[in-house]
Homo-oligomer: A and B are copies of this chain.
Amino acid sequence: MASLSQQLPPPPPPPTRYAVALFPGFQALDVFGPVDILNMLSKSRSLELSVLSTTPEPVCTKSGTSSHSIGQQVVPTHTFRDCPDDIEVLLVPGGTGTRDQRSVQAVVDFVRERYPKLRYLLTVCTGSVVVSMAGVLDGRRATSNKRAWDWVTSHGPAVQWVRHARWVTDGNIWTASGISAGIDMMYAFIENQYGEAVATDLAQAAEYVRNTDPNDDPFA
A positions within 8 Å CB-CB of B: 18, 27-29, 31-33, 35-36, 38-39, 42-43, 45-49, 51, 58, 61-62, 66-75, 145-147, 177-181, 183, 204-209, 211, 218-219
Contact = CB atoms under 8 A, between A and B. Distances in A.
Number of copies: 2
A69 B51 contact: no
Given A36-B27, A145-B207, A207-B219, A74 B74 contact: yes
A209 B211 contact: yes
A217 to B, nearest CB: 8
Contacts of A36: 27-29, 32, 61, 179
Contact of A69 (B45, B73, B146, B207): B45
A49 to B, nearest CB: 4
A60 to B, nearest CB: 9
